[in-house]
Structure 1
Amino acid sequence: MFIIDLFAKTGLETLYFTGVIILAGLLLGILETQSNRNFHKGLGRNAIMVTGIVGTPVHELSHALMALLFGHKITAIKLFQRPDRDGVMGYVNHAYNPKNIYHQVGNFFIGIAPIFGGLLVIMALLALLLPQVLESFMGVVTQSLAVETLSVASFSDLFSAYGELLKLIFSSENFKNGRFYLFLFLAICISSHISLSPADIKGAFKGLVFIFLVLLILNAIGLFQSILAVDILRYNVLMTSFLMIAVIFSLIAFGISLICRIFAR
């Protein structure tokens, strides 16, 4: 019974820490696939090259920086190329010691790095080009951290706040601002290449297994609560708040790609 409870508890904790990231990654993958398909059918193959020249280097550099952070050795890197027969526009090959737990756990974070790398670049662009929007977003984040229990009302409040954020991004004043169009173009390029490739998912899964094993050991010896004393609810709300920005701009990219496809007929 102890073994079953231990595995069940560890499985839930692994889900608490990684579930929202995995869910966002799957959603971003669906949006990116459909957006690229729409751009290809509406504007031709070169449309993907246009978004890729900005988005692909951000994607690959995110992998590379996280690989270095976790002690992996980068053996080959290509920040941008014409799509090959598999549609690959860039890659990072890295080597590591499979006996090193830190290296193995790093595989998860290396795999998901483009989501957070792209998100950080988008937020940096907001700070540079549309600081008032970033200020509003940070207000949303602060508001979200006040949530103490999950309920229909709390979810409704959060999504209402994101709706207000969208209104601020697409305000009439911004449409008169040249920096808005530059930001929108760059954000679409990044969000069109922010999701995870099959190779990214495979690598992340390896790391996820080791995260589970590490938590399992900590739970078995009773150290989890003292070492990882984290407010799970606020952690997930905070992660959701930031990941929603990536989802919002991926939805914008999808909407524009759909318009291009419709009007190209």
Structure 2
Amino acid sequence: MAQFIENLLIVLLSLLGLPALFAWILTLVNRQSKASLVDRYGMNSQVYLGCLGIIIHELSHLIMAVIFHHSIQSVRLLKLPHLNQANGADDDLALGYVNHNWRQASVYQNVGNLFIGVAPIFGCTASLLGLDALLYPGLAQAIFKLADHPFDPDWTGSWTALTTNFGGWWQLLLLLLLTILIVLGGFDLSPADYQNSSLGLTTMLILLTAMTVIFTIFKPYTVVFMKAVMSFGVTVAMILTYSLVVSVILMLVIKLLPQR
């Protein structure tokens, strides 16, 4: 029983807890950044500086909705927000949207709501990891070296890869610029995203608990299962930590910018 509880806590922390915590903090930080941009340079400035992230955000929702067989009603990957004070109509502050329906009786589609709601976190994480591998191979290799041995991280090998395998200055500058474009607009989960995720959370908790029970009972597979879970958790945590550092620095820089 003790081993099962330990395994379950690791599974829930790696697959749900850490991504949820980072998502919450990144949402708070990047909302502050966008609010400061809007205050200084107008509503459209948040779109200009976060356009790539917004597109990845909505595209992540769309891909997950298709995978879980939801009915897609309408899609807009990027749009400018606007106020309708002059004619009295409702404000339209959305930067993009994916409207979808699902069958309440389908367990698969209900579980899909969780993945659809949090999809931008993993979509942006995957995009950043891909950019790291392309523009700063040492950073991606450093992350993978830590994730490959979650029970005994290779800190020395990771540091060596980080400090010896990087591209030119223009590649690092491009990586920083693209990272800013992604983190500002991509990691901000809306209230609708959180609400959508909650619809599949209970079912997902049951499934993860059942999987943990099975892999704990069949001990030859326990280590393989737990290593895969922890490797995933370490990879996501490293990328999200990197994203959070960039987000915090960006927020501070924006707050120092002069008013238009």
* The two structures share one fold, judged by TM-score above 0.5: yes
Alpha-carbon deviation of 1:11? 7.5
Report sequence identity in percent: 27
How does 1:179-190 map onto structure 2 within 5 Å?
179-190=171-182
Q: TM-score, normalised by structure 2?
A: 0.75
The alignment partner of 2:98 has SS state of strand
Q: In structure 2, what is the Cα distance between the partners aligned to 1:11 and 1:140?
A: 23
1:205–1:57 distance in 2 versus 1, CA, 3 Å: same
The alignment partner of 2:100 has SS state of strand
1:191 to 148, 168, 183: 183
How does 1:142-157 map onto structure 2 within 5 Å?
142-148=145-151
Q: Which residue of 2 aligns with 1:81?
A: 79
The alignment partner of 1:230 has SS state of helix
How does 1:127-138 map onto structure 2 within 5 Å?
127-128=133-134, 130=135, 133-138=136-141
Confirm whether residue 26 of structure 1 aligns to residue 19 of structure 2: no
Q: Which residue of 2 aligns with 1:209?
A: 202
1:182–1:73 distance in 2 versus 1, CA, 3 Å: same
What are structure 1's unaligned runs of at least 5 residues?
Answer: none
Alpha-carbon deviation of 1:211? 0.6
Confirm whether residue 110 of structure 1 aligns to residue 113 of structure 2: no
1:56–1:147 distance in 2 versus 1, CA, 3 Å: closer
Q: In structure 2, what is the Cα distance between the partners aligned to 1:78 and 1:56?
A: 10
Alpha-carbon deviation of 1:17? 2.6
What are structure 2's unaligned runs of at least 5 residues?
Answer: 83-90
2:125 to 116, 119, 126: 119
Q: Contact 1:141 / 1:241 at 8 angstroms: preserved in 2?
A: no
1:113–1:124 distance in 2 versus 1, CA, 3 Å: same
After superposition, give the CA deviation of every residue in 1:150-191 in whole Å (9 maximum; x if it has no partner): xxxx8xx69x96xx969x98x9x62xx2x5444433321211
Q: In structure 2, what is the Cα distance between the partners aligned to 1:217 and 1:143?
A: 28
Q: In structure 2, what is the Cα distance between the partners aligned to 1:82 and 1:22?
A: 28
1:137–1:13 distance in 2 versus 1, CA, 3 Å: closer
Q: In structure 1, what is the Cα distance between the partners aligned to 2:92 and 2:60?
A: 21
Q: Contact 2:47 / 2:185 at 8 angstroms: preserved in 1?
A: no
Q: Contact 1:32 / 1:192 at 8 angstroms: preserved in 2?
A: yes
After superposition, give the CA deviation of every residue in 1:21-40 in whole Å (9 maximum; x if it has no partner): 10111011011111112222
The alignment partner of 2:186 has SS state of coil
1:30 partner amino acid: L
After superposition, give the CA deviation of every residue in 1:34-71 in whole Å (9 maximum; x if it has no partner): 11122223333231131243322111011101111122
After superposition, give the CA deviation of every residue in 1:199-255 in whole Å (9 maximum; x if it has no partner): 111111222111113245557xx5353488333544432331232233233234323
Q: In structure 2, what is the Cα distance between the partners aligned to 1:92 and 1:125?
A: 25
Q: Which residue of 2 aligns with 1:223?
A: 214
The alignment partner of 1:39 has SS state of helix
1:79–1:201 distance in 2 versus 1, CA, 3 Å: same
Aligned length: 240
Q: In structure 2, what is the Cα distance between the partners aligned to 1:249 and 1:243?
A: 10
Q: Contact 1:191 / 1:250 at 8 angstroms: preserved in 2?
A: yes
Q: In structure 1, what is the Cα distance between the partners aligned to 2:10 and 2:172?
A: 42
Q: In structure 2, what is the Cα distance between the partners aligned to 1:140 and 1:122?
A: 12
Q: Contact 2:132 / 2:140 at 8 angstroms: preserved in 1?
A: no
1:206–1:126 distance in 2 versus 1, CA, 3 Å: same
Q: Which residue of 1 aligns with 2:86?
A: none
